[in-house]
Structure 1
Amino acid sequence: MKRINLIAGLLFLTGTTSFAQQTVTQPMSQLIDEQFNFAAEQYKVLDQRIPAGLTPQSYDAKKDKLIAYDIKWWCSGFYSGSLWYIYEQTKNKEIRKTAEKALKVIEPNKTFTGNHDLGFMMFCSFGNAYRLTGDPAYKEVINSSAASLATRYRPEIESIQSWDKSKYWKCPVIIDNMMNLEMLDWVSDHGGDARYKEIAIKHANTTLKNHFRPDFSSYHVVDYDLTTGKVYRKATWQGAANCSAWSRGQAWALYGFTAMYRSTKDQKYLDQAMGIAHFILNHPNLPADKVPFWDFDAPKIPYAKRDASAAAITASALLELAQYSKGKEKTEFVSSAETMLRSLATPAYRAKLGENGGFLLLHSTGALPLDSEIDVPLIYADYYYLEALSRYKKWYL
């Protein structure tokens, strides 16, 4: 019955029949190969539109305009990271050349200390490049990036400061920051400074203590007072309300604590990840196709905007979390991730070749309260979609 309801919902969303139904029922091996072959062609379209020295972020369909930013933008590593995932699956040499070119653009970020996002910027990019090539030059870039990220650690609060002090915040730490700990762990585990992993653990423990509610949902921002070391307030910047569960924030939390468990094997991180997963999957406002609304407490549900990026991140995290699970729980995590990936592969969420500015996915939401990036493609949605597809192929086929 659930499979029938999912198909019906997707057909309603797309207004099509054959392709939507095919993506729901075809073997995952075939679906995954088709998505990577599509991505290889679609990203050729995207590459042709990127201005020199910038990195792609989104696309304005009304103006037929690519949105691209300076390399210091927090998303600058996702394009090259996506290309490396595509190359890994297709062995397309032109894609590899494009990936290498994209790395050269962002390499100066290895000494950037202006925010906490060095993991996103440099590990999603150079991390994948090193994983696939073993080039020691890439490892050196990752090591330098970890050193830069470590400068933002604040011992007064045992956390990495996310954004700089402003009229809005004293010392903000956002749940997204959990995603940047993986690079610190990796460098320490691969011959680098052991202090980086200590920082990652302290940050994760502080987040565990201060960011979560009893139901395992997360606040977006915890603002600290560096003078006292105490929490100043708990709030949101991109969610519907201070007390709401911003969907992508929950995905960041799930992914981050799963990665911390992988690195440390500390049971409390696994327990936290399990709790977050069940919060997401059992939430009454999670749609049948499992692509979340932009906030689990968003106004106007079921007419609220979706966030394909939250689904892609969640799917990728669930597939790894299932590696540390057993029985019905493992089955639930893999099945839920598969539903998300099948949904994202339909015309309801995936672009047609040559359209969407060259991006893969439609219908992501960046920061609705700021009237920014609403119902648009986003480069990190593509990245985690490709990562999740790759993980499914590696672990479950």
Structure 2
Amino acid sequence: MLDLTTVVAGPIASLTLAQQGAHIIKVEPPGGDLVRRLGFIAKDGSSSTFQTLNRGKALISLDLSTEDGRAALAPLVEQSDVVMHNYRPAAARKLGLDADSLRARHDGLIVAEVTGFGPWDPLSDVRAYDPVIQAESGLAARPDKPEPELYPQYICDKVAGLYLCQAITSALVGRERDGAGRHVAVSMLEAALAFSWMDVHMPLTLKDPLQPGPNIAKVYRPWKAADGWFVVVMLSEKEFGAWCEVVGAPQLLDDPRCADMASRFINWDFIRETCAPLAEHQSADELLDRLREAGVPAGKVNTSDDILNHPQLANSGFIYEGEADGPGPVRLPGAAARFDGERPGQGATCSGQLGADTRMVLEKAGVDDALIARICGD
């Protein structure tokens, strides 16, 4: 698979595919992927974000604005099952990387693209990054906040990348059945809406709802205990009843304002005012133990440092440590999915050096020695 994408959305799609066994060749421009400078910076100048997104990939650097760069890319395209990019339509056509041009050379090719607004008018050639899509998709219009506010993570990038990964896998399955290539396109805007519709945009689903849905951030916001914070979700009657007994508010069970789930959502401020002072004088760990024993979903609010000592993660081996060429020691999360108990790609790191694998990849692809020498600056 040939990955021409930069920043977050495309790289997280190819990372996920690499963790499922795909061989990924990442192509960077001469100045490198912008994400090399995004996040905590290592001693070699590369970033924590680049290391997280691009481990387990072969890294090459080509200047696709030159004839040499495009000539070196051509055999890689011909030998690939999938080519993915995040060029807007005009730029893709200029470089010969639009779906029609690529599939004219390789009719079984899967061409996958992810851009801010997709390859459809009127905004197909408008540039966008995650914060722009958070705004355009309505995610930044936080009803629980006095002003619009961005989520402190690249949520639209990551969601679009995961949708792209799934679509590429589906396209490959389709090709196994009929031999035909596919053009897969994901819009970050549409991905963000598909992902958030059921809660962020629930008012748009029903024309005449009987009552509004709950604000999740308000209803499930963390509770303060004597020694930390925790979250509890009590949807069913059994869960709410157990919460009342554990926290010390059994009187709520006979209060008509708490008679059923719908009533509790409407009167959540009352429940909060009653229970918050009780929780504040108890130990978070003790409350969690008792709630979990009673079958109530509950969890502690952990910091980054807490995560390293999480008993579940320590037992599963999800987080691993390794040595990366350039950055040095790194700590990274494994693949979210296991196959027969194994995590593909566990232990993978990536070099911080731009174009670390250029020569090896081009030689293996059969690129002319003289062209390789020019590209590698021999």
**Smaller-chain TM-score bracket:** under 0.3
TM (norm. structure 1) is 0.25
Of structures 1 and 2, the larger Rg is shown by 2
TM (norm. structure 2) is 0.26
